[in-house]
Structure 1
Amino acid sequence: MLILSLNKKTIMSLEKYYVLGKTGLRVSRLALGTMTFGEDWGWGSEKKAAKAIFDYYIDKGGNFIDTADLYTDGNSEKMVGEFVKDRKLREKVVIATKFSYNGDPGNPNGGGNSRKHIVHAVEGSLKRLQTDYIDLYFLHTYDLLTKPEEVMRTLDDLVKQGKILHIGLSDCPSWYVSRAQTIAEYRGFEPVSTMQLEYSLVERNIEKEFIPLGQETGIGTMVWSPLASGLLSGKYKPSESGIEGEGRLKTMEGSDNKAFDKNTERNWKIVSALEEVAKEIEQPMASVALNWVANRPGISSVIVGATKMHQLEENLASLDFDIPHDLKQKLKDASKPSMEFPYSFFEPKMQAMLTGGAKVGHKPASYWSDVSLEEKPAGV
């Protein structure tokens, strides 16, 4: 991913733009997540507060907005569309939205990734967003049923019709992404430009397959929940009854959504290490956690969201400082993911058995070793 800056002087992180994947699409390092736009889910921001957050992000130089068709029952898209239209920003911002989830209970074709649903879903998003086209259109979640051939052909048709410009896959198995990209290359379809996946100090499993997949194929990696649903912000504490604190993580505690299942002994140890590092460098915990994610190998853009202005301010300041190497190592050690089969075979000690102990500069070997990966953001 290439970096495009406005000039040669030192400027704020949002005023540096990055080419997403192999596209010519120039986006901010930090994308504004709008899942919190609307109070329909019992948490989030009412319209006036959401508008203030949107304006602050735009005024700081941000241009990358992320939403989805069913975020806050469609109100997130409606707000984004209205805010963009009011400020006449359509050609200045990059809008990403998603399809997959079912908004019509009882209708088996009201969700999923079939051609029927995609064609219906895109029309709804275009209407709510008050736009003629969507910059980046994501399959939201793999449905276990629809073949990638059907998905890629349908999305390619929408590109040809001018309704979407670029294609993304979110929350899919790595084999599915790889298969979809191979189909696109073989048949001359619009390729996958971006993956959108969960990534944080708490959730690092994408390092095992998705990061090397993106590096090998040129697919950008856009990450969500870099603060682990707020766990890494410092506002929650463990208790005998669960989690103490106010916010989405507490509201969603006990739900069936594994994305909010963060109350584990391992995760609280990571929070403790993060708190120590944040105190050492005198930065907010949220800023440190975001800085660490944004500067990991292969990461193209990081989605940040907020319900309060001070949260957004901390988020947007996350790239204005460096974390010393020894403290980065402390965070890596505390959060290192387990390496089950077959990934344990790709770590340095096992790989050395293939080379007779000789050091070989073979690119794939670095994918699996957290030690050998440099803290180098994508495209730098």
Structure 2
Amino acid sequence: MSLTLDTYRLLGRSGLRVSPLALGAATFGTEWGWGAERDEARKLFDRYVESGGNFIDTAVTYTNGSSERLLGEFARAHRESLVLATKYSTQRRPDDPNSGGSHRKNLFASVEASLRQLNTDYIDLLYLHMWDFTTPVEEVLRGMDDLVRQGKILYVAISNAPAWQASRMQAIADLRGWSPLVALQIEYSLIQRAGERDLIPMAREMGLGVVPFSPMGGGVLTGKYSRDDLTATATATSTGSGESTRKSVNQTMGSVTERNLAIADTVREVATELGRTPAQVALAWTLHNPDVTAPIIGARTPAQLDDNLGALDVEFTASQLSRLDGTSSVDLGYPHAFLAGDFARTLTQGALRIQARG
């Protein structure tokens, strides 16, 4: 069944209704060397909202604050109908040890900075952006709950954190009557499926909607890389073109590998069969996962955005899904692989046949 941006989904165990594709505003601004200038970013925003989209993602430090400032300007006339999500914990000032991290001081200061930059009275959804391994979970949860009670944020969420910490936080929030987490933002794509081991099952059990970022693997799944890039030296700098700078980042981070290029080849083959683009196929694959609420699209041009939106009505055959899953599957590791195997099943169930929930 094809989707549209105004075929809304509930976010986690909340009643909040969001579009099935979120617009990523990390491309708003050129401070990082590869984003969209103001006028181009405005076109992206308008195209998304006019198509029925209501879920927009940013962070307090994206493009050094330009992302939130531009989004706040664009959203002014639509504020009540939009779900604006932002994040805190990344460092805002290099010389200030308390301008980063998950602790209460930075939480409150970051939210105030986001409110100013977004030019709004409240934030719909606030994520803890990066787990810092130093702040007690009770400090994070109580601080978030205080901000909810003050009306400065409406819902709370988490990103880039171990599954066991997120589930622990959810259990504590439930027991103490604090605001529960409603969303989990993780990197998830055909080339990054590690979340299937613990994070996504945890989200399913604990009532968190999964919001994947980088669903096209940083652009690798769009087909813009070749085997020549395996040995290429990343020479682009922040003063180079947006495309070359983004490409150099992926090369530096090790995203361009033989395995990932082989997955991209399969994506391209399926796209050719369907008469679609590789980007649409990669996005549609994440949407096919029932645990995924809304992948984040990070288009830099209106043409890229239009192409991304085309993923909403891509339909796969069983064979095509099997090929995509097979070429990108990950080892679930212990104990998941062991518990799913015949030996463990025989020990716990014997000859019984038990139908799973759902």
TM range, smaller chain: over 0.9
1:105 Cα deviation (Å)?
Answer: 1.0
- Out of 65, 69, 84, the position equivalent to 2:56 is 65
Matched-pair identity in %: 42
Q: Which residue of 2 aligns with 1:377?
A: none
Rounded to whole Å, the distance in 2 between the matches of 1:173 and 1:320 is 33
Q: Which residue of 1 aligns with 2:122?
A: 133
Q: Give 3-state SS (helix, strand or coil) of 1:96's partner.
A: strand
Q: Give 3-state SS (helix, strand or coil) of 1:62's partner.
A: coil
Rounded to whole Å, the distance in 2 between the matches of 1:253 and 1:169 is 24
Rounded to whole Å, the distance in 1 between the matches of 2:250 and 2:158 is 27
1:63-100 superposed Cα distances (whole Å, 9 cap, x missing partner):
00000000000000000000011xx1010100000001
Q: Which residue of 1 aligns with 2:258?
A: 265
Assess if the C-alpha contact under 8 Å between 1:81 and 1:129 holds in 2.
yes
Q: Which residue of 2 aligns with 1:356?
A: 350
1:287 Cα deviation (Å)?
Answer: 0.3
> Are 2:221 and 1:232 aligned?
yes
Q: Which residue of 1 aligns with 2:176?
A: 187
Paired amino acid for 1:334: T
Q: Which residue of 2 aligns with 1:3?
A: none
Structure ranking higher in helix proportion: 2
Name the TM-score, length of structure 2 as normaliser. 0.93
- Out of 341, 347, 350, the position equivalent to 2:340 is 347
Paired amino acid for 2:89: S
Rounded to whole Å, the distance in 1 between the matches of 2:341 and 2:320 is 23
Rounded to whole Å, the distance in 2 between the matches of 1:171 and 1:358 is 39
Q: Give 3-state SS (helix, strand or coil) of 2:59's partner.
A: coil
Q: Which residue of 1 aligns with 2:101?
A: 112
- Give the RMSD, CA atoms, in angstroms: 1.8
Rounded to whole Å, the distance in 2 between the matches of 1:125 and 1:64 is 17
Q: Which residue of 2 aligns with 1:124?
A: 113
Q: Give 3-state SS (helix, strand or coil) of 1:301's partner.
A: coil
Assess if the C-alpha contact under 8 Å between 1:352 and 1:358 holds in 2.
no
1:248 Cα deviation (Å)?
Answer: 5.3
Unaligned runs of 5+ in 2: 235-241
In the TM superposition, what are the counterparts of 1:1-380 in structure 2 within 5 Å? 13-85=4-76, 88-239=77-228, 240-242=230-232, 246-247=243-244, 249-253=246-250, 255=252, 260-354=253-347, 355-363=349-357
1:297 Cα deviation (Å)?
Answer: 2.7
Q: Which residue of 1 aligns with 2:238?
A: none
1:351 Cα deviation (Å)?
Answer: 3.9
Name the TM-score, length of structure 1 as normaliser. 0.88
Assess if the C-alpha contact under 8 Å between 1:193 and 1:219 holds in 2.
yes
Aligned pairs, number: 349
Rounded to whole Å, the distance in 2 between the matches of 1:357 and 1:224 is 42
Q: Which residue of 1 aligns with 2:237?
A: none
Give the 3 Å change call, closer, same or farther, for CA 142–128 of structure 1 in structure 2. same
Q: Give 3-state SS (helix, strand or coil) of 1:166's partner.
A: strand
1:211 Cα deviation (Å)?
Answer: 1.7
- Bigger RCO (CA 8 Å, 6+ sep): 2
Assess if the C-alpha contact under 8 Å between 2:196 and 2:332 holds in 1.
no
Rounded to whole Å, the distance in 2 between the matches of 1:146 and 1:254 is 33
1:213 Cα deviation (Å)?
Answer: 1.2
Rounded to whole Å, the distance in 2 between the matches of 1:268 and 1:15 is 34
Paired amino acid for 1:110: S
- Of the structure 1 ranges 144-153 and 214-223, higher mean CA displacement relative to structure 2 is found in 214-223
Assess if the C-alpha contact under 8 Å between 1:236 and 1:246 holds in 2.
no
1:275-312 superposed Cα distances (whole Å, 9 cap, x missing partner):
11111111100001100101113111110111122211
